[in-house]
């Protein structure tokens, strides 16, 4: 049961082969067995979860159910959820109880999905390895000595280890796609503005976007059908007509399902820095796309390398502003001893934030400080436009872009922890998508053998604005002829 797709689970619930309470209990039992080792969840509340499952069963009995009613979903601990501890992976919010529901949480609640628990994450979503969480590291279920990626590493590990049917994540510079790649699952960062950021604890507001993490493109499409939609409480939410993201699946022909699809390969994504093993897997996946009828064209994204410096100016600048709200006055950690108000602010923030968060706040404060604004922040905003223009040029020649999600498979825990620059380079292929506000996703494309373990490799699909349905269709076609997405790690 734990390995079924969302559609299969939905059918089982509709046909009363299983109740939501039984299904939820099955996942809770697995969580009880395995979470201590993997550390995928920060907060669990079996009573609350089972109460939601009962509500779902009532909806199923009264024919008011929709596709995901009764299905247990894990929520990244960045989403405020009423009555649930909401920590954002930080000591700063260790004791914060959500007083309201985030837009994303509301949407799942409204259709009767079950909140299984809040998943572990890099502190305030800052990290690429899930080693910066105040609540401890998450282990990659494919090899416990390796990282699951970050910052949605808890959600990724939970899906990979089948400790939930699907999960939510957020992606500021690759935080859905990179952990999806490292954990062998499918993850989608939608077009900026498509999913409400209301109640999603802000890291870098012009880049953050929530999205689904699941086993397959079909599962992600069903999640997107719930998660997307206008929210007037989020001033960046886009008022667009609701879409059915599964609509392209039935149109795929059996022979050449991707005939007519132009697939762009950016040469900069296959240059120095990409592991040879990962490159081989990606090339095999591209050959499969050609076989499915897609036309492969060469494109160029010449400013790819600049996306990292631009990101590490803009994201910390926005973070330094967003995190200024944590001052120990109204909520969050307050130091036990202080002399005056200023001392209370400084000590509370020094004690409440971890090293990586403090580093980024300091960078942000520096690049925004008097005398440096033009040289850093304004310069970065200008290059951001050049990066977005690169994509606009590329999309004149192709419909989607394919490439690796991450330059390597999962690395060992601690391997890059002391070298922030090496860690930041993990997101070289994902960051530009956030800067341009485009949708991007990662799907499993194969495995690399390393130290006697099979480690997953992710294929990244980048689309034009609001083209998620076509991206999911292209991913679904690939998943119809491959089984990488169905594999699960042994021992969990």
Partner 1 sequence: MSLSTTDIKRIAHLARIEVNDTEAEATLVKLTGILGLIEQMQAVDTTGVTPMSHSQDVSQRLREDVVTETDQRTLFQKNAPPVGNGSAEPAVEKGLYLVPKVIE
Residues 6+ apart with CB under 8 A from 474: 258, 261, 263, 289, 294, 400, 461
Of the candidate spans 53-61, 218-226, 360-368, 479-487, the one that interacts with partner 1 by CB under 8 A turns out to be 360-368
What are the CA-CA distances from residue 217 to residues 24, 228, 235, 479 (Å)?
Answer: 23, 16, 29, 8
Least distance (Å) from partner 1 to the CB of residue 58?
27
Residue 271 or residue 375: which is nearer to partner 1 going by CB? 375
76 flagged as catalytic: yes
Considering 20, 43, 175, 196, which one is annotated as catalytic?
A: 175
For residue 255, state whether it binds partner 1 (rule: CB under 8 A): no
Choose which of 60, 226, 306, 315 interacts with partner 1 (CB under 8 A).
306
Considering 5, 151, 155, 320, which one is annotated as catalytic?
A: 151
Residues 133-172 contacting partner 1, CB under 8 A: none
For residue 308, state whether it binds partner 1 (rule: CB under 8 A): yes
- Of 319, 326, 329, the closest CA to residue 350 belongs to 326
Q: Which two tokens stand for residue 123?
A: 């502190």
For residue 362, state whether it binds partner 1 (rule: CB under 8 A): yes
- Residue 255 CB coordination number (10 Å): 8
For residue 41, state whether it binds partner 1 (rule: CB under 8 A): no
256 flagged as catalytic: no
Of the candidate spans 124-132, 148-156, 429-437, 451-459, the one that interacts with partner 1 by CB under 8 A turns out to be 429-437
- φ, ψ of residue 454 in degrees (nearest 5): -90, 120
Residues 99-118 contacting partner 1, CB under 8 A: 99-100
Q: Which two tokens stand for residue 464?
A: 């034009």
- Of 214, 242, 201, 198, the closest CA to residue 113 belongs to 214
Choose which of 435, 443, 445, 469 interacts with partner 1 (CB under 8 A).
435
Considering 19, 43, 76, 215, which one is annotated as catalytic?
A: 76
Angle between helices 6-14 and 217-227 (to 10 degrees): 70
Binding track over 169-198 against partner 1, x by CB under 8 A? -----------------------xx-----
Handedness of CA 459, 421, 131, 376 (dihedral sign): negative
Residues 197-216 contacting partner 1, CB under 8 A: 206-207
Choose which of 37, 110, 386, 392 interacts with partner 1 (CB under 8 A).
386
Choose which of 25, 145, 236, 284 interacts with partner 1 (CB under 8 A).
236
CA distance 69 to 47: 18
175 flagged as catalytic: yes
Helix then strand then coil, in percent of the chain rounded to 5, is: 40, 15, 40
Choose which of 66, 284, 381, 454 interacts with partner 1 (CB under 8 A).
381
Residues 451-480 contacting partner 1, CB under 8 A: 465
**Token pair 């039984």: residue:** 22
For residue 482, state whether it binds partner 1 (rule: CB under 8 A): no
- φ, ψ of residue 140 in degrees (nearest 5): -80, 120
Active-site residues: which are they? 76, 151, 175
């Amino acid at each position: 049961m734990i390995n079924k797709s969302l559609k299969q689970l939905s059918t089982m619930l509709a046909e009363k082969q299983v109740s939501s309470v039984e299904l939820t209990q099955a996942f809770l039992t697995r969580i009880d067995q395995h979470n201590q080792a993997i550390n995928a969840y920060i907060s669990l509340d079996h009573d609350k979860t089972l109460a939601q499952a009962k509500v779902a069963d009532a909806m199923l009995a009264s024919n008011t159910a929709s596709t995901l009613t009764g299905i247990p979903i894990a929520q990244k601990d960045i989403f405020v959820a009423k009555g649930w501890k909401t920590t954002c992976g930080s000591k700063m919010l260790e004791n914060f109880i959500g007083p309201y529901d985030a837009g994303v949480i509301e949407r799942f609640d409204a259709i009767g999905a079950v909140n299984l628990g809040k998943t572990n994450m890099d502190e305030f979503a800052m990290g690429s390895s899930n080693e910066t969480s105040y609540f401890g590291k998450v282990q990659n279920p494919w090899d416990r000595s390796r990282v699951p990626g970050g910052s949605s590493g808890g959600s990724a590990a939970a899906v990979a280890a089948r400790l939930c049917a699907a999960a939510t994540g957020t992606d500021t510079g690759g935080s859905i796609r990179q952990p999806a790649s490292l954990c062998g699952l499918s993850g989608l960062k939608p077009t900026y503005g498509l999913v409400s950021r209301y109640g999603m604890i802000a890291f870098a507001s012009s880049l953050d976007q929530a999205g689904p993490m699941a086993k397959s493109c079909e599962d992600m499409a069903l999640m997107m059908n719930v998660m997307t939609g206008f929210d007037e409480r989020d001033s960046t939410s886009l008022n667009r007509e609701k879409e059915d993201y599964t609509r392209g699946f039935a149109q795929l022909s059996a022979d050449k399902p991707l005939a007519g699809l132009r697939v762009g390969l950016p040469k900069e994504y296959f240059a120095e820095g990409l592991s040879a093993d990962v490159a081989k897997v990606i090339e095999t996946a591209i050959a499969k796309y050609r076989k499915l009828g897609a036309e492969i064209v060469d494109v160029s994204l010449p400013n790819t390398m600049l996306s990292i410096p631009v990101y590490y100016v803009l994201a910390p600048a926005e973070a330094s502003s967003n995190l200024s709200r944590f001052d120990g006055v109204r909520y969050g950690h307050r130091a036990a001893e202080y002399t005056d108000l200023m001392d209370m602010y400084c000590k509370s923030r020094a004690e409440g934030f971890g090293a990586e968060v403090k580093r980024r706040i300091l960078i942000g404060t520096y690049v925004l400080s008097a005398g440096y604004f033009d040289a850093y922040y304004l310069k970065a905003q200008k290059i951001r436009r050049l990066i977005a223009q690169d994509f606009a040029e590329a999309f004149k020649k192709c419909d989607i872009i394919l490439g690796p999600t991450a330059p390597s498979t999962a690395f060992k825990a601690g391997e890059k922890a002391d070298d922030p620059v090496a860690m930041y380079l993990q997101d070289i292929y994902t960051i530009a998508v956030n800067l341009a506000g485009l949708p991007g996703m990662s799907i499993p494309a194969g495995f690399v053998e390393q130290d006697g373990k099979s480690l997953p490799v992710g294929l990244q699909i980048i689309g034009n604005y609001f083209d998620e349905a076509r991206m999911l269709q292209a991913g679904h076609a690939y998943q119809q002829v491959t089984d990488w997405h169905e594999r699960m790690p042994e021992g969990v």
